[in-house]
A and B are shown apart, each in its own frame.
Chain A
Amino acid sequence: MARMKFICDAERCIECNGCVTACKAEHEVPWGVNRRRVVTLNDGVPGERSISVACMHCSDAPCMAVCPVDCFYRTDEGVVLHDKDICIGCGYCSYACPFGAPQFPTNGTFGLRGKMDKCTFCAGGPEKNGTQAEYEKYGRNRLAEGKLPACAEMCSTKALLGGDGDVVADIFRTRVMTRGKGSEVWGWGTAYGKPSSGSGGGVPTQQPAKTEATKS
């Protein structure tokens, strides 16, 4: 099996924030923490584009590289997860991540920063699958329920695709070839590196979109 991947089709995303809402509801994510968010480029200008962004589960994850307590690990499916019992909430991963995925809940009068929280690809964490302990720390483990991430499965325009990299790349490639444009996959090159033969390949051009004014 190929690695689990997210792809967001910027030609289809309508900035409805349904994925953000689905994620927050599915995992009961606290106030101030957004595991997923929608970023709009050239907002208000004709031709604006929106992209749904979360942890990209990088093949060579910088968060894993910088973590001083080594709380990150990668599952057999390529999902980058972390152990909240080890995390010390230092925030190094937040500085290292090019996608702003690591989030830190704050609470109390002095805004005490808690342990890092991020998208788990709906794969839970290092607790027994589907238990209350796992749910409270990491959210729902949909992969262990035979489902894919809630954000991707409920996307109304099918802009956000998630699942086996080979399958979602095939779906995206078919669209690009049909429409004859829009082959840029935002974040793909940064997060996933160069495609190796037979896995996750097939997307015609894997260059990041040209720099444009950004508003989140």
Chain B
Amino acid sequence: MKRLLLILGVAALAAACGEKAQTTAAKKADAKAWDAAENPYVAPGWKAGDRASWEQQMRVRAQAQNEYSRVQ
């Protein structure tokens, strides 16, 4: 009987260990886009970590959507 009570007591105490904290997760800081992705798909033409070169790259890529000869 004593043993059973001990097991039940330990089980009740251990059950609390599985409880997730009810606190709100803190908002994580996001990495800057110009810090470059850590994968092999990074486009050439700009320098990782250099904001100015990344912004220039964005402008060049945006101009690629321009059809200079067909503006209708």
Chain A residues with CB under 8 Å of chain B are 1, 4, 11, 69-71, 73, 75-77, 81, 83, 85-86, 123-131, 141, 143-148, 152-153, 155, 158, 161-164, 167-168, 171, 174-175, 178-179
Asked, given contacts A126-B30, A146-B46, A179-B72, whether A153 binds B61 with beta carbons under 8 Å apart, the answer is yes
- The answer for the CA separation of A152 and B35 in the assembled complex, in Å, is 23
- B22 CB–A CB distance under 8 Å: no
> For residue A153, which residues in chain B have a CB less than 8 angstroms away from its CB?
61, 64-65
Residue picked from A71, A144, A147, most chain B C-beta under 10 Å: A144
Contact call B72/A146, Cβ cutoff below 8 A: no
Contact call B27/A86, Cβ cutoff below 8 A: yes
- B29 CB–A CB distance under 8 Å: yes
- The answer for the CA separation of A83 and B46 in the assembled complex, in Å, is 28
> For residue A163, which residues in chain B have a CB less than 8 angstroms away from its CB?
58-59, 61-62, 65
A-B residue pairs in contact (CB < 8 Å), sample of 19: A85-B25, A126-B28, A130-B37, A131-B38, A143-B58, A146-B36, A146-B43, A146-B44, A146-B58, A147-B61, A153-B61, A161-B65, A162-B62, A163-B65, A164-B62, A167-B59, A167-B62, A167-B63, A178-B71
> For residue A147, which residues in chain B have a CB less than 8 angstroms away from its CB?
43, 61
- Tally chain B residues at the interface, Cβ within 8 Å: 35
- The answer for the CA separation of A75 and B54 in the assembled complex, in Å, is 15
Contact call A145/B37, Cβ cutoff below 8 A: yes
In the complex formed, the residue of B with least CB distance to A148 is B61
Asked, given contacts A158-B67, A161-B65, whether A143 binds B33 with beta carbons under 8 Å apart, the answer is yes
Contact call B65/A129, Cβ cutoff below 8 A: no
Asked, given contacts A1-B55, A145-B37, whether A71 binds B62 with beta carbons under 8 Å apart, the answer is no
Contact call A145/B42, Cβ cutoff below 8 A: yes
> For residue A130, which residues in chain B have a CB less than 8 angstroms away from its CB?
36-39, 41-42
